[in-house]
Structure 1
Amino acid sequence: MLITVDDLTEAMLSDNPPVILDVRWQLGDDRGHDHYREGHVPGAVFVDLDRELAAAPSPQRGRHPLPDIADLQAAARRWGIDDRSPVVAYDAIGNLASARAWWLLRWGGHSDVRLLDGGLGAWRDAGLRLSSGDTTPRTGSVTLTPGHLPVAEIDEVAATSARVVDARAAERYRGEVEPVDPRAGHIPGAISVPTAGNIGADGRFLPADDIRKRFADNGIGDSDEVIAYCGSGINAAHEIAALEIAGIRATLFPGSWSQWSSDPDRPAATGSESAG
Protein backbone atom coordinates (compact mmCIF):
# COMPACT_ATOMS: atom_id res chain seq x y z
CA MET A 1 0.00 0.00 0.00
CA LEU A 2 3.10 2.24 0.18
CA ILE A 3 5.68 2.97 -2.50
CA THR A 4 9.07 4.58 -2.06
CA VAL A 5 10.47 7.31 -4.27
CA ASP A 6 13.01 4.88 -5.74
CA ASP A 7 10.34 2.34 -6.59
CA LEU A 8 8.10 5.03 -8.07
CA THR A 9 10.83 6.34 -10.38
CA GLU A 10 11.45 2.79 -11.57
CA ALA A 11 7.72 2.20 -12.11
CA MET A 12 7.44 5.42 -14.11
CA LEU A 13 9.85 3.90 -16.65
CA SER A 14 8.01 0.58 -16.89
CA ASP A 15 5.70 -0.68 -19.64
CA ASN A 16 2.71 0.05 -17.38
CA PRO A 17 3.57 3.29 -15.55
CA PRO A 18 1.32 4.39 -12.71
CA VAL A 19 -1.22 7.16 -12.86
CA ILE A 20 0.09 9.64 -10.30
CA LEU A 21 -2.44 11.73 -8.37
CA ASP A 22 -1.50 14.97 -6.62
CA VAL A 23 -4.11 15.58 -3.90
CA ARG A 24 -2.87 18.96 -2.67
CA TRP A 25 -5.41 19.89 0.02
CA GLN A 26 -5.27 21.18 3.57
CA LEU A 27 -7.93 22.46 5.94
CA GLY A 28 -7.95 26.24 5.75
CA ASP A 29 -5.92 26.39 2.51
CA ASP A 30 -7.94 26.55 -0.72
CA ARG A 31 -4.91 27.06 -2.99
CA GLY A 32 -4.22 23.40 -3.65
CA HIS A 33 -4.31 23.77 -7.42
CA ASP A 34 -1.95 26.75 -7.26
CA HIS A 35 0.51 24.77 -5.14
CA TYR A 36 0.29 21.90 -7.62
CA ARG A 37 1.00 24.19 -10.57
CA GLU A 38 4.03 25.63 -8.80
CA GLY A 39 5.63 22.20 -8.60
CA HIS A 40 4.58 18.56 -8.73
CA VAL A 41 5.91 15.09 -9.51
CA PRO A 42 6.33 14.93 -13.31
CA GLY A 43 3.19 13.56 -14.95
CA ALA A 44 1.08 13.87 -11.81
CA VAL A 45 -2.56 14.91 -12.27
CA PHE A 46 -4.15 17.38 -9.88
CA VAL A 47 -7.10 16.00 -7.92
CA ASP A 48 -9.56 18.46 -6.42
CA LEU A 49 -10.48 16.86 -3.11
CA ASP A 50 -13.52 19.04 -2.42
CA ARG A 51 -15.05 18.54 -5.88
CA GLU A 52 -13.80 15.13 -7.01
CA LEU A 53 -13.35 13.14 -3.80
CA ALA A 54 -16.54 14.25 -2.08
CA ALA A 55 -20.17 15.04 -2.76
CA ALA A 56 -21.68 18.42 -1.88
CA PRO A 57 -21.58 19.16 1.86
CA SER A 58 -24.70 19.25 4.01
CA PRO A 59 -25.48 19.14 7.74
CA GLN A 60 -27.25 15.82 7.18
CA ARG A 61 -24.22 14.13 5.55
CA GLY A 62 -21.22 16.15 6.69
CA ARG A 63 -18.61 18.35 5.03
CA HIS A 64 -17.16 15.66 2.73
CA PRO A 65 -19.76 12.96 2.01
CA LEU A 66 -18.70 10.06 -0.17
CA PRO A 67 -19.17 10.93 -3.85
CA ASP A 68 -21.69 9.10 -5.98
CA ILE A 69 -19.90 6.19 -7.62
CA ALA A 70 -20.73 7.49 -11.11
CA ASP A 71 -19.10 10.82 -10.26
CA LEU A 72 -16.03 9.11 -8.82
CA GLN A 73 -15.73 6.90 -11.90
CA ALA A 74 -15.98 9.93 -14.20
CA ALA A 75 -13.26 11.68 -12.21
CA ALA A 76 -11.01 8.60 -12.24
CA ARG A 77 -11.38 8.41 -16.01
CA ARG A 78 -10.47 12.10 -16.28
CA TRP A 79 -7.31 11.30 -14.34
CA GLY A 80 -6.43 8.64 -16.92
CA ILE A 81 -7.11 5.49 -14.91
CA ASP A 82 -7.89 2.22 -16.69
CA ASP A 83 -8.92 -1.03 -14.99
CA ARG A 84 -5.34 -2.29 -15.05
CA SER A 85 -3.66 0.99 -14.14
CA PRO A 86 -1.49 1.12 -11.05
CA VAL A 87 -2.18 4.33 -9.15
CA VAL A 88 0.05 6.32 -6.79
CA ALA A 89 -1.34 9.19 -4.72
CA TYR A 90 0.56 11.80 -2.73
CA ASP A 91 0.28 15.25 -1.17
CA ALA A 92 2.58 17.64 0.69
CA ILE A 93 1.37 16.87 4.24
CA GLY A 94 2.39 13.29 4.87
CA ASN A 95 -0.49 11.78 2.88
CA LEU A 96 -3.08 13.14 5.32
CA ALA A 97 -5.17 14.24 2.32
CA SER A 98 -4.12 11.82 -0.42
CA ALA A 99 -5.17 8.86 1.72
CA ARG A 100 -8.73 9.88 0.83
CA ALA A 101 -8.03 9.08 -2.85
CA TRP A 102 -6.29 5.84 -1.82
CA TRP A 103 -9.31 4.79 0.25
CA LEU A 104 -11.99 5.91 -2.24
CA LEU A 105 -10.51 4.14 -5.24
CA ARG A 106 -10.22 0.92 -3.25
CA TRP A 107 -13.78 1.39 -1.97
CA GLY A 108 -14.74 1.65 -5.65
CA GLY A 109 -12.99 -1.65 -6.45
CA HIS A 110 -9.66 -0.45 -7.88
CA SER A 111 -7.18 -2.33 -5.69
CA ASP A 112 -3.83 -1.30 -7.21
CA VAL A 113 -3.49 2.00 -5.34
CA ARG A 114 -0.52 3.05 -3.25
CA LEU A 115 0.61 6.09 -1.31
CA LEU A 116 3.99 7.69 -1.99
CA ASP A 117 5.58 7.32 1.44
CA GLY A 118 6.72 10.76 2.53
CA GLY A 119 4.75 12.44 -0.23
CA LEU A 120 6.13 15.41 -2.14
CA GLY A 121 8.71 16.04 0.58
CA ALA A 122 10.32 12.65 -0.05
CA TRP A 123 10.47 13.39 -3.77
CA ARG A 124 12.16 16.73 -3.11
CA ASP A 125 14.54 15.22 -0.54
CA ALA A 126 15.68 12.75 -3.20
CA GLY A 127 16.76 15.71 -5.35
CA LEU A 128 14.37 14.86 -8.16
CA ARG A 129 12.97 17.49 -10.46
CA LEU A 130 9.47 18.94 -10.30
CA SER A 131 7.18 19.93 -13.14
CA SER A 132 5.10 23.09 -13.19
CA GLY A 133 1.81 24.02 -14.81
CA ASP A 134 -0.95 21.51 -15.50
CA THR A 135 -0.79 17.93 -16.74
CA THR A 136 -3.54 16.93 -19.18
CA PRO A 137 -3.91 13.14 -19.09
CA ARG A 138 -5.53 10.87 -21.64
CA THR A 139 -9.04 9.71 -20.78
CA GLY A 140 -9.16 6.41 -18.95
CA SER A 141 -11.74 3.62 -19.01
CA VAL A 142 -11.82 2.33 -15.43
CA THR A 143 -15.08 0.85 -14.10
CA LEU A 144 -15.84 1.38 -10.42
CA THR A 145 -18.50 -0.17 -8.20
CA PRO A 146 -19.13 0.82 -4.57
CA GLY A 147 -18.80 -1.14 -1.36
CA HIS A 148 -15.40 -2.84 -1.61
CA LEU A 149 -14.35 -1.32 1.72
CA PRO A 150 -16.59 -1.11 4.80
CA VAL A 151 -18.47 2.06 5.71
CA ALA A 152 -20.40 2.88 8.89
CA GLU A 153 -23.45 5.14 8.87
CA ILE A 154 -24.17 7.48 11.76
CA ASP A 155 -26.79 5.27 13.45
CA GLU A 156 -24.46 2.29 13.25
CA VAL A 157 -21.74 4.31 14.97
CA ALA A 158 -24.15 5.36 17.70
CA ALA A 159 -25.11 1.75 18.41
CA THR A 160 -21.77 0.02 17.82
CA SER A 161 -19.77 -2.08 20.24
CA ALA A 162 -16.65 -1.54 18.10
CA ARG A 163 -13.69 0.58 19.09
CA VAL A 164 -14.41 4.06 17.72
CA VAL A 165 -11.19 5.95 16.98
CA ASP A 166 -11.02 9.74 16.66
CA ALA A 167 -8.20 10.69 14.27
CA ARG A 168 -8.33 14.46 14.88
CA ALA A 169 -5.82 16.50 16.87
CA ALA A 170 -6.16 15.85 20.60
CA GLU A 171 -7.30 19.39 21.39
CA ARG A 172 -10.24 19.04 19.01
CA TYR A 173 -11.10 15.66 20.52
CA ARG A 174 -11.08 17.18 24.02
CA GLY A 175 -13.30 20.03 22.86
CA GLU A 176 -10.79 22.76 23.62
CA VAL A 177 -10.99 24.14 20.08
CA GLU A 178 -13.30 23.61 17.13
CA PRO A 179 -12.30 25.59 14.04
CA VAL A 180 -14.98 24.47 11.61
CA ASP A 181 -17.73 22.16 12.92
CA PRO A 182 -20.94 23.19 14.78
CA ARG A 183 -19.98 21.85 18.21
CA ALA A 184 -16.77 21.00 20.03
CA GLY A 185 -16.02 17.61 21.53
CA HIS A 186 -16.14 14.01 20.39
CA ILE A 187 -18.41 10.99 20.04
CA PRO A 188 -18.93 9.58 23.54
CA GLY A 189 -16.72 6.55 24.11
CA ALA A 190 -14.39 7.35 21.21
CA ILE A 191 -10.65 6.90 21.70
CA SER A 192 -8.26 9.70 20.71
CA VAL A 193 -5.44 8.51 18.44
CA PRO A 194 -4.44 11.55 16.33
CA THR A 195 -3.42 10.28 12.93
CA ALA A 196 -0.57 12.78 12.64
CA GLY A 197 1.22 10.66 15.24
CA ASN A 198 1.40 7.75 12.80
CA ILE A 199 4.03 9.56 10.71
CA GLY A 200 7.49 10.81 11.57
CA ALA A 201 9.02 14.23 11.11
CA ASP A 202 9.92 13.26 7.54
CA GLY A 203 6.27 12.64 6.66
CA ARG A 204 6.78 8.89 6.29
CA PHE A 205 4.67 6.33 8.10
CA LEU A 206 6.21 4.84 11.22
CA PRO A 207 7.25 1.18 11.08
CA ALA A 208 4.37 -1.27 11.42
CA ASP A 209 5.47 -2.42 14.90
CA ASP A 210 5.54 1.16 16.16
CA ILE A 211 2.07 1.87 14.80
CA ARG A 212 0.75 -1.38 16.24
CA LYS A 213 2.18 -0.48 19.67
CA ARG A 214 0.70 3.01 19.48
CA PHE A 215 -2.79 1.60 18.97
CA ALA A 216 -2.25 -1.14 21.53
CA ASP A 217 -1.28 1.51 24.07
CA ASN A 218 -4.68 3.04 23.39
CA GLY A 219 -6.52 -0.21 23.96
CA ILE A 220 -6.84 -1.37 20.35
CA GLY A 221 -5.71 -4.90 19.53
CA ASP A 222 -5.20 -6.77 16.29
CA SER A 223 -8.57 -8.53 16.50
CA ASP A 224 -10.66 -5.53 17.54
CA GLU A 225 -13.40 -4.17 15.32
CA VAL A 226 -12.48 -0.54 14.65
CA ILE A 227 -14.41 2.42 13.24
CA ALA A 228 -12.36 5.52 12.37
CA TYR A 229 -13.62 9.09 12.09
CA CYS A 230 -12.19 12.61 12.02
CA GLY A 231 -13.69 15.98 11.15
CA SER A 232 -15.14 15.07 7.78
CA GLY A 233 -13.78 11.68 6.73
CA ILE A 234 -10.49 12.87 5.18
CA ASN A 235 -7.85 12.28 7.84
CA ALA A 236 -9.75 9.17 8.99
CA ALA A 237 -8.71 7.52 5.72
CA HIS A 238 -5.10 8.16 6.75
CA GLU A 239 -5.83 6.54 10.11
CA ILE A 240 -7.23 3.52 8.25
CA ALA A 241 -4.05 3.38 6.16
CA ALA A 242 -1.95 3.38 9.33
CA LEU A 243 -4.12 0.67 10.87
CA GLU A 244 -3.74 -1.41 7.71
CA ILE A 245 0.04 -1.08 7.91
CA ALA A 246 -0.27 -2.40 11.47
CA GLY A 247 -2.41 -5.31 10.29
CA ILE A 248 -5.70 -4.00 11.69
CA ARG A 249 -8.73 -3.65 9.45
CA ALA A 250 -10.91 -0.59 10.08
CA THR A 251 -14.21 0.86 8.88
CA LEU A 252 -14.65 4.49 7.81
CA PHE A 253 -17.39 6.71 9.25
CA PRO A 254 -17.56 9.17 6.33
CA GLY A 255 -19.83 11.75 7.98
CA SER A 256 -17.48 11.93 10.95
CA TRP A 257 -17.71 14.75 13.49
CA SER A 258 -19.10 17.23 10.94
CA GLN A 259 -22.22 15.09 10.56
CA TRP A 260 -22.48 14.02 14.20
CA SER A 261 -22.08 17.55 15.61
CA SER A 262 -24.71 18.96 13.22
CA ASP A 263 -27.40 16.85 14.86
CA PRO A 264 -28.40 18.44 18.19
CA ASP A 265 -29.86 15.14 19.36
CA ARG A 266 -26.45 13.42 19.21
CA PRO A 267 -24.51 13.66 22.50
CA ALA A 268 -21.06 15.22 22.58
CA ALA A 269 -18.34 14.44 25.11
CA THR A 270 -15.44 16.68 26.09
CA GLY A 271 -12.19 16.14 27.91
CA SER A 272 -10.17 12.95 27.88
CA GLU A 273 -11.62 9.47 28.10
CA SER A 274 -10.02 6.22 29.10
CA ALA A 275 -9.68 3.57 26.43
CA GLY A 276 -11.60 1.32 28.84
Structure 2
Amino acid sequence: MDTLMTVAQLKERMDSGARTVLLDVRWTLGDPHGREHYLEAHLPGAVFVDLAAELAGPADPSRGRHPLPPLEQFQESARGWGVRDGDLVVAYDATGNLAAARLWWMLRNAGFPTVCLLDGGLAAWRAEGFDVENGEPDVEAGDVVLSDGAMPVIGAAEAAAWSGSGLLLDARAGERYRGEIEPVDPRAGHIPGAVSAPTTRNLAADGKFLPAATLRERFTGLGVQAGLPTAVYCGSGVTAAHEIAALEIAGFPAALYPGSFSEWSNDPSNVVVTGAAADGGAGADGGVQAATTQGN
Protein backbone atom coordinates (compact mmCIF):
# COMPACT_ATOMS: atom_id res chain seq x y z
CA MET A 1 0.00 0.00 0.00
CA ASP A 2 1.40 3.39 -0.95
CA THR A 3 1.97 5.82 1.90
CA LEU A 4 0.15 8.63 0.08
CA MET A 5 -3.00 9.07 -1.97
CA THR A 6 -3.52 12.14 -4.11
CA VAL A 7 -6.72 14.15 -4.10
CA ALA A 8 -7.38 13.09 -7.71
CA GLN A 9 -7.01 9.42 -6.79
CA LEU A 10 -9.35 9.78 -3.83
CA LYS A 11 -11.98 11.64 -5.83
CA GLU A 12 -11.90 8.98 -8.56
CA ARG A 13 -12.26 6.27 -5.94
CA MET A 14 -15.16 8.02 -4.22
CA ASP A 15 -16.92 8.64 -7.54
CA SER A 16 -16.59 4.95 -8.37
CA GLY A 17 -18.43 4.01 -5.19
CA ALA A 18 -15.54 1.91 -3.86
CA ARG A 19 -15.78 1.60 -0.09
CA THR A 20 -13.42 4.09 1.53
CA VAL A 21 -13.23 5.09 5.18
CA LEU A 22 -12.19 8.74 5.51
CA LEU A 23 -10.82 9.76 8.90
CA ASP A 24 -10.30 13.39 9.85
CA VAL A 25 -7.61 13.86 12.52
CA ARG A 26 -8.00 17.61 13.09
CA TRP A 27 -5.56 18.40 15.91
CA THR A 28 -2.72 20.79 16.69
CA LEU A 29 -0.85 21.40 19.91
CA GLY A 30 -2.48 24.29 21.76
CA ASP A 31 -5.76 24.14 19.83
CA PRO A 32 -8.42 22.05 21.60
CA HIS A 33 -11.10 22.80 19.02
CA GLY A 34 -10.41 20.09 16.46
CA ARG A 35 -13.94 18.74 16.56
CA GLU A 36 -15.41 22.19 16.05
CA HIS A 37 -13.17 22.74 13.01
CA TYR A 38 -14.22 19.35 11.66
CA LEU A 39 -17.92 20.10 12.14
CA GLU A 40 -17.55 23.32 10.17
CA ALA A 41 -16.08 21.61 7.10
CA HIS A 42 -14.71 18.17 6.26
CA LEU A 43 -14.47 15.77 3.33
CA PRO A 44 -17.80 14.12 2.45
CA GLY A 45 -18.48 11.22 4.79
CA ALA A 46 -15.34 11.72 6.85
CA VAL A 47 -15.43 10.67 10.50
CA PHE A 48 -13.71 12.72 13.18
CA VAL A 49 -10.88 11.12 15.14
CA ASP A 50 -10.03 12.69 18.48
CA LEU A 51 -6.25 12.37 18.72
CA ALA A 52 -5.98 13.16 22.43
CA ALA A 53 -8.81 10.81 23.43
CA GLU A 54 -8.61 8.02 20.83
CA LEU A 55 -5.00 7.93 19.65
CA ALA A 56 -3.40 8.33 23.08
CA GLY A 57 -3.80 7.20 26.64
CA PRO A 58 -3.72 9.56 29.63
CA ALA A 59 -0.51 11.56 30.02
CA ASP A 60 1.99 9.79 32.26
CA PRO A 61 5.46 11.18 33.11
CA SER A 62 6.87 7.67 32.79
CA ARG A 63 5.34 7.16 29.32
CA GLY A 64 5.01 10.68 27.89
CA ARG A 65 2.28 13.19 27.09
CA HIS A 66 0.60 11.02 24.46
CA PRO A 67 1.35 7.37 25.29
CA LEU A 68 -0.04 4.77 22.93
CA PRO A 69 -3.45 3.53 24.12
CA PRO A 70 -4.13 -0.13 24.93
CA LEU A 71 -4.82 -2.27 21.87
CA GLU A 72 -8.35 -3.08 23.04
CA GLN A 73 -9.18 0.62 23.34
CA PHE A 74 -7.73 1.41 19.91
CA GLN A 75 -9.67 -1.43 18.30
CA GLU A 76 -12.88 -0.19 19.90
CA SER A 77 -12.20 3.30 18.56
CA ALA A 78 -11.50 1.98 15.06
CA ARG A 79 -14.74 0.05 15.06
CA GLY A 80 -16.52 3.21 16.17
CA TRP A 81 -15.14 4.98 13.09
CA GLY A 82 -16.73 2.23 10.98
CA VAL A 83 -13.53 0.42 10.00
CA ARG A 84 -13.97 -3.16 8.80
CA ASP A 85 -11.37 -5.76 7.93
CA GLY A 86 -10.29 -5.21 4.33
CA ASP A 87 -11.34 -1.56 4.16
CA LEU A 88 -9.20 1.15 2.62
CA VAL A 89 -8.66 3.90 5.17
CA VAL A 90 -7.57 7.39 4.12
CA ALA A 91 -6.49 9.73 6.93
CA TYR A 92 -6.03 13.47 6.64
CA ASP A 93 -5.97 16.72 8.61
CA ALA A 94 -5.56 20.44 7.94
CA THR A 95 -1.86 20.67 8.85
CA GLY A 96 0.04 18.71 6.23
CA ASN A 97 -0.78 15.38 7.90
CA LEU A 98 1.31 16.23 10.96
CA ALA A 99 -1.50 14.81 13.11
CA ALA A 100 -3.01 12.28 10.69
CA ALA A 101 0.30 10.45 10.42
CA ARG A 102 -0.17 9.33 14.03
CA LEU A 103 -3.29 7.42 12.96
CA TRP A 104 -1.54 6.10 9.86
CA TRP A 105 1.31 4.74 11.99
CA MET A 106 -0.98 3.28 14.65
CA LEU A 107 -3.10 1.38 12.12
CA ARG A 108 0.02 0.09 10.40
CA ASN A 109 1.43 -0.96 13.77
CA ALA A 110 -1.87 -2.71 14.50
CA GLY A 111 -1.46 -4.94 11.44
CA PHE A 112 -3.85 -2.94 9.23
CA PRO A 113 -1.89 -2.40 6.00
CA THR A 114 -4.49 -0.68 3.80
CA VAL A 115 -4.18 2.82 5.21
CA CYS A 116 -2.71 5.89 3.56
CA LEU A 117 -2.47 9.65 3.98
CA LEU A 118 -4.28 12.14 1.74
CA ASP A 119 -1.41 14.20 0.40
CA GLY A 120 -2.04 17.85 1.23
CA GLY A 121 -5.06 17.02 3.36
CA LEU A 122 -8.11 19.27 3.52
CA ALA A 123 -6.35 22.20 1.84
CA ALA A 124 -5.48 20.13 -1.23
CA TRP A 125 -9.06 18.86 -1.48
CA ARG A 126 -10.50 22.37 -1.30
CA ALA A 127 -7.90 23.72 -3.73
CA GLU A 128 -9.39 21.44 -6.39
CA GLY A 129 -12.82 22.93 -5.75
CA PHE A 130 -14.32 19.72 -4.40
CA ASP A 131 -17.27 19.84 -2.03
CA VAL A 132 -16.97 19.67 1.74
CA GLU A 133 -19.62 18.86 4.34
CA ASN A 134 -20.46 20.09 7.78
CA GLY A 135 -22.01 18.28 10.71
CA GLU A 136 -21.39 14.66 11.53
CA PRO A 137 -22.32 11.62 9.39
CA ASP A 138 -24.09 8.52 10.64
CA VAL A 139 -21.57 5.73 11.10
CA GLU A 140 -22.27 2.02 11.02
CA ALA A 141 -19.98 0.27 13.49
CA GLY A 142 -17.13 -1.72 12.01
CA ASP A 143 -15.73 -5.11 12.94
CA VAL A 144 -12.01 -4.68 12.37
CA VAL A 145 -9.70 -6.95 14.34
CA LEU A 146 -6.39 -5.29 15.20
CA SER A 147 -3.13 -6.68 16.53
CA ASP A 148 0.08 -5.06 17.73
CA GLY A 149 3.77 -4.81 16.97
CA ALA A 150 3.84 -4.62 13.18
CA MET A 151 6.03 -1.47 13.18
CA PRO A 152 9.41 -1.16 14.92
CA VAL A 153 9.52 0.77 18.21
CA ILE A 154 12.19 1.60 20.76
CA GLY A 155 12.11 2.61 24.42
CA ALA A 156 14.19 5.01 26.49
CA ALA A 157 17.00 2.52 27.12
CA GLU A 158 17.37 1.86 23.40
CA ALA A 159 17.18 5.59 22.62
CA ALA A 160 20.03 6.21 25.07
CA ALA A 161 22.33 3.84 23.19
CA TRP A 162 20.93 4.25 19.67
CA SER A 163 23.50 6.71 18.32
CA GLY A 164 26.25 4.21 19.09
CA SER A 165 25.21 1.96 16.24
CA GLY A 166 22.42 3.82 14.45
CA LEU A 167 20.92 7.22 13.71
CA LEU A 168 18.45 8.92 16.06
CA LEU A 169 16.44 11.75 14.49
CA ASP A 170 14.77 14.51 16.52
CA ALA A 171 11.67 15.63 14.61
CA ARG A 172 10.93 18.73 16.71
CA ALA A 173 11.60 22.33 15.71
CA GLY A 174 15.29 23.20 15.69
CA GLU A 175 14.99 25.68 18.54
CA ARG A 176 13.50 23.01 20.78
CA TYR A 177 16.25 20.57 19.80
CA ARG A 178 18.90 23.15 20.64
CA GLY A 179 17.22 23.92 23.96
CA GLU A 180 16.50 27.56 23.18
CA ILE A 181 12.85 27.09 24.12
CA GLU A 182 10.72 24.33 25.61
CA PRO A 183 7.02 25.20 25.85
CA VAL A 184 5.63 21.91 27.19
CA ASP A 185 8.24 19.51 28.56
CA PRO A 186 10.15 19.81 31.86
CA ARG A 187 13.65 20.24 30.40
CA ALA A 188 14.95 21.85 27.22
CA GLY A 189 17.33 20.19 24.80
CA HIS A 190 17.63 16.81 23.13
CA ILE A 191 18.64 13.19 23.64
CA PRO A 192 22.44 12.77 23.43
CA GLY A 193 23.59 11.82 19.96
CA ALA A 194 20.32 12.79 18.25
CA VAL A 195 20.38 14.70 14.96
CA SER A 196 18.00 17.59 14.34
CA ALA A 197 15.50 16.78 11.56
CA PRO A 198 12.41 19.01 11.93
CA THR A 199 9.29 17.37 10.56
CA THR A 200 8.04 20.47 8.78
CA ARG A 201 10.98 20.21 6.39
CA ASN A 202 9.29 17.14 4.89
CA LEU A 203 6.59 19.39 3.41
CA ALA A 204 6.30 21.81 0.54
CA ALA A 205 4.63 25.19 1.00
CA ASP A 206 1.25 23.73 0.02
CA GLY A 207 1.36 21.15 2.80
CA LYS A 208 2.10 18.21 0.51
CA PHE A 209 5.03 15.89 1.07
CA LEU A 210 8.15 16.72 -0.91
CA PRO A 211 8.88 14.34 -3.82
CA ALA A 212 10.48 11.04 -2.85
CA ALA A 213 13.82 11.98 -4.45
CA THR A 214 13.93 15.26 -2.55
CA LEU A 215 13.11 13.53 0.73
CA ARG A 216 15.77 10.92 0.03
CA GLU A 217 18.33 13.66 -0.56
CA ARG A 218 17.29 15.38 2.65
CA PHE A 219 17.57 12.27 4.79
CA THR A 220 20.84 11.04 3.29
CA GLY A 221 22.21 14.50 4.05
CA LEU A 222 21.27 13.91 7.67
CA GLY A 223 23.09 10.59 7.72
CA VAL A 224 20.31 8.14 6.87
CA GLN A 225 21.54 5.25 4.76
CA ALA A 226 20.48 1.76 3.81
CA GLY A 227 21.35 -0.74 6.49
CA LEU A 228 21.88 1.86 9.22
CA PRO A 229 19.20 1.49 11.94
CA THR A 230 17.19 4.71 12.14
CA ALA A 231 14.81 5.79 14.89
CA VAL A 232 12.74 8.94 15.36
CA TYR A 233 11.35 10.86 18.31
CA CYS A 234 9.60 14.19 18.78
CA GLY A 235 7.87 15.73 21.78
CA SER A 236 5.33 13.01 22.47
CA GLY A 237 5.36 10.60 19.55
CA VAL A 238 2.88 12.42 17.30
CA THR A 239 4.87 14.23 14.61
CA ALA A 240 7.62 11.61 14.75
CA ALA A 241 5.11 9.38 12.95
CA HIS A 242 5.04 11.97 10.16
CA GLU A 243 8.81 11.73 9.87
CA ILE A 244 8.53 7.94 9.65
CA ALA A 245 6.02 8.36 6.82
CA ALA A 246 8.42 10.72 5.03
CA LEU A 247 11.28 8.28 5.53
CA GLU A 248 9.11 5.49 4.08
CA ILE A 249 8.35 7.64 1.04
CA ALA A 250 12.10 8.14 0.65
CA GLY A 251 12.67 4.39 0.88
CA PHE A 252 13.99 4.12 4.43
CA PRO A 253 12.44 2.17 7.33
CA ALA A 254 12.56 3.72 10.80
CA ALA A 255 11.54 2.91 14.36
CA LEU A 256 9.43 5.16 16.58
CA TYR A 257 10.23 6.12 20.17
CA PRO A 258 6.60 6.53 21.33
CA GLY A 259 7.36 8.22 24.66
CA SER A 260 9.71 10.65 22.91
CA PHE A 261 11.18 13.69 24.65
CA SER A 262 8.22 14.11 27.02
CA GLU A 263 9.07 10.73 28.52
CA TRP A 264 12.82 11.18 28.33
CA SER A 265 12.91 14.64 29.95
CA ASN A 266 10.71 13.56 32.86
CA ASP A 267 13.29 11.05 34.04
CA PRO A 268 16.03 12.93 35.95
CA SER A 269 18.48 10.09 35.30
CA ASN A 270 18.36 10.79 31.55
CA VAL A 271 20.93 13.26 30.23
CA VAL A 272 19.60 16.18 28.18
CA VAL A 273 21.98 17.99 25.79
CA THR A 274 21.61 21.56 24.53
CA GLY A 275 23.16 23.38 21.60
CA ALA A 276 23.70 22.43 17.99
CA ALA A 277 26.95 20.46 18.20
CA ALA A 278 25.15 17.27 17.13
CA ASP A 279 22.95 19.06 14.63
CA GLY A 280 24.20 16.86 11.79
CA GLY A 281 24.58 19.84 9.50
CA ALA A 282 20.84 20.47 9.81
CA GLY A 283 21.01 23.77 11.66
CA ALA A 284 19.17 25.53 8.85
CA ASP A 285 16.27 23.15 9.31
CA GLY A 286 15.41 24.78 12.60
CA GLY A 287 15.26 28.27 11.20
CA VAL A 288 11.86 28.18 9.54
CA GLN A 289 9.02 26.55 11.43
CA ALA A 290 5.26 26.73 11.22
CA ALA A 291 5.13 27.09 15.00
CA THR A 292 7.67 26.95 17.79
CA THR A 293 5.80 24.04 19.34
CA GLN A 294 6.19 21.92 16.19
CA GLY A 295 7.31 18.41 16.98
CA ASN A 296 4.80 17.44 19.63
Q: State how 1:219-238 maps to structure 2 within 5 Å.
A: 219-238=223-242
Question: Larger deviation: 123-132 or 15-24?
Answer: 15-24
User: 129-138 or 114-123: which moved more?
Assistant: 129-138
The residue that corresponds to 1:55 in the other structure is 57
Contact 1:16 1:85 in 2 (8 A): no
Q: Residue in 1 aligned with 2:222? A: 218
How much does 1:13 deviate?
Answer: 3.0
Please tell me the residue identity of whatever aligns with 1:218: L
Shift of 1:274: 4.5
Aligned to 1:17: 19
Report how far residue 222 of structure 1 moved: 2.8
**Of residues 106, 117, 123 in structure 2, which corresponds to 1:115?**
117
* Aligned length, in residue pairs: 276
Equivalent residue number for residue 154 of structure 2: 152
TM-score of the two chains, using structure 2 as the length reference: 0.91
TM-score by length of 1: 0.98
1:22 touches 1:45 (CA, 8 Å); kept in 2?
yes
Taking the aligned partners of 1:264 and 1:250, their CA distance within structure 2 comes to 27
Structure 2 residue aligned with 1:198, among 180, 189, 202?
Answer: 202
User: Aligned equivalents of 2:138 and 2:232: distance in 1?
Assistant: 35
1:126-275 equivalences in 2 (<5 Å): 126-160=128-162, 161-272=165-276, 273-275=278-280
For residues 64-92 of structure 1, the C-alpha deviation after alignment (integer angstroms, 9 at most, x for no partner) is 11111101100000000011100000000
Structure 1 CA distance for aligned equivalents of residues 194 and 247 of structure 2: 16
Matches within 5 A, 1:86-101: 86-101=88-103
Structure-1 residue corresponding to 2:35: 33
Is the 2:196–2:279 contact (alpha carbons within 8 Å) kept by the matching residues of 1? no
Question: What pairs up with 1:73-84 in 2 under 5 angstroms?
Answer: 73-84=75-86
Unaligned runs of 5+ in 1: none
Q: Secondary structure of the residue that 1:209 maps to in structure 2?
A: helix
RMSD: 1.0
Structure 2 residues not aligned, in runs of 5+: 282-296
Aligned to 1:43: 45
